[in-house]
Amino acid sequence: MPQRDPTQAPALVVGLGNPGAGYARHRHNVGFQVLDALARAHGLSFSREKLARTHTAQGRIGGRSVILAKPQTFVNRSGQAVGRLARWHKVPPQQILVVYDELDLPLGRLRLRPEGGAGGHNGMRSIIEALGTQQFPRLRVGIDRPPGQMDPADYVLHPFSKEEGEIVALVIDQAVAAVEAWLEEGIVAAMDRFNRPWAQDPALNEAGRAAGEGRPA
């Protein structure tokens, strides 16, 4: 029996975050924020999928059949939802893109990779365990390191500051464009375009430079 062509499988784009209005603006929820913006840009709506404990939106982006997913299992158990979705919809790992927050990237920086480890992110560790492989694409969205001696576990559960708001809005737009590029052109082309400081948006570059000047040394 011939194997299914992976390019014909739906693409699964997963944004990581914690469920509930109280978490919505937190740094840890930037994956949810990117998927919400992506869904709005393409007229897609999320609904509850009980089987996988996730909110999903399905449609087409750039000629590709896509499933957007926001796991409702809390970040650290994201693999429970992603594993079930992948099996149910028969999505191979190379067609799963995970969007999540990254402490080790400055605010405004994006980093696409075709595969890799968890890098200390518990949500990614959970997904790797559920899929049984590290070989799936991911889009990391920089949220910067916490100031002073602040515990990173507390820092990710804080909202972005008012001063950071302009950068966040711009980088979410850039992240949406990066996901679209991955869907339409593949991981190599998307990496070439978006793995750069402040991406390619002049306004984002200017906002990032201003924010950097305003931070204590």
* Catalytic residue IDs: 28
What value, to the nearest 5°, has the Cα angle with vertex 22 and ends 18 and 23? 30
- Who contacts 36 (Cβ-Cβ below 8 Å, separation ≥6)? 15
- Separation of CA 6 from chain center: 21
Cβ atoms of 65 and 10 within 8 Å: the answer is yes
Of all helices (H) and strands (E), which one includes residue 155? Answer: helix 152-155
Angle (deg, nearest 10), helices 30-41 and 165-185: 60
Sheet with 110-113, edge to edge strand ranges:
47-49, 54-61, 64-71, 11-15, 96-102, 138-142, 110-113
